[in-house]
A and B are shown apart, each in its own frame.
Chain A
Amino acid sequence: MSAVDEGSELGALTFLHLALEAAVVSVAEGHGIDTKKRHDKKAKAAHDLYEQGVMPEDFSGLMRLLNQARKDRTYEGEEPDLEGHSLEDIGRSATLAVETAEGEAR
């Protein structure tokens, strides 16, 4: 969350996306799902894990939104379109995903 606090927009987008993905991949691997290091497969795993009742929320839409936002910012220098989500809200979702992954790992 430090990048969010420090006001680095690209840093915040990137690290929130990485945190969400890392949490989902960790849980997915524990359930035998191979995400093949691809963003779309990680988002699909997030959806499947929610459907299975493993993840508390379906993070897949947020993961894809963040992935697009960081690309828009990285490649085009554009203001990211977070479709009404604030970075703080996304930070809370990422924290929830990480806590779920930590719980699963115990």
Chain B
Amino acid sequence: MNAPTHSSPLGDPIAVPRTDPASWKARISEDRQRAVRLQTPAQRRITKILVRRTRACGGIALALTGSTARGKRTSWSDLDYYVVGPRPHFVDLPEDLDVYATQGPMDKLWEGDDFIQWTLLFGCILFDSGVLREVFEELIDSEVWPDPQRKLSQAIEASELAASVLSLGDADLAREQVSIALSHVARWLLLKEHVFPLSRSELPAQLRQFGHQGLAEALERSLSPSPTANDLRSCLTLASCLTAET
């Protein structure tokens, strides 16, 4: 099985991932510079505060992840962080933040979670006590692949929830839920085909490359500023058909 770094046709491949301490230190230095380039001044201020708070509350690693780290932010993007340790206080900070915190990134890797892999492959590591380096080393050595079934379960649950929200008849309320459900379906399909899914706005291009034209269009419709309730219903119908085929 190939390592995920070599399997993403539209990703930025890491030619020869190196995990020795000196290379890892160099990566963190480059990642910090990249994070500065990819954020607005306001976002940089938030990140600086989160770095300080994460360290202060005993966090041992922090990464900027998600679409910001890919340079693919859209108007609906969150500012995503991956914390190893307790979650720092964040509810007073501006912007839509997603501050994911875990005590066990190695467990997440072996549970088949794709987010830890995503963060290690594409995120900007802001500081690391060594825990993320160990997980990255394990990822490279083992070539473990995220579990598509895990994504399928999430896709089915998210689709059912999106249908419930949509039944209220308010397309604005339902748009985000439908988009989440379709993203899970897209990630499940791509992982099944051994393609590492990138950020949400990049998924349609990846789907098209592997023949999933209908889902690519549905995902784009759900991400448009003001889809109609009928649009969203047809998107969900497609998601249900795809997941039911299993």
Contacts and interface: CB of A to CB of B under 8 A. Distances in A.
Interface of A: 10-11, 14-15, 18, 22, 37-40, 43-44, 60-61, 64-65, 67-68, 71-72, 74-77, 81
Interface in B155-180: 157-158, 161, 164-165, 172-173, 177, 180
Contacts, number: 53
17 contacts: A11-B164, A14-B161, A14-B165, A15-B164, A18-B165, A18-B173, A39-B96, A61-B92, A64-B97, A68-B98, A71-B78, A74-B154, A74-B180, A75-B154, A75-B180, A76-B100, A77-B153
Given A14-B177, A39-B96, 9 more contacts: A10-B161, A11-B161, A14-B161, A38-B96, A40-B96, A60-B91, A68-B90, A68-B97, A75-B154
Contacts of B90: 64, 68
B113 A74 contact: no
B196 to A, nearest CB: 16
A22 B165 CA distance: 13
A38 B98 CA distance: 13
Given A39-B96, A71-B98, A64 B91 contact: yes
- Dominant SS among interface residues on chain A: helix
A81 B87 contact: yes
Contacts of B172: 37
A68 B81 CA distance: 12
Contacts of B164: 11, 15
Interface in B71-113: 78, 87, 90-92, 94-100, 113
B115 interface: yes
A106 B94 CA distance: 32
A80 B176 CA distance: 19
A77 B158 CA distance: 11
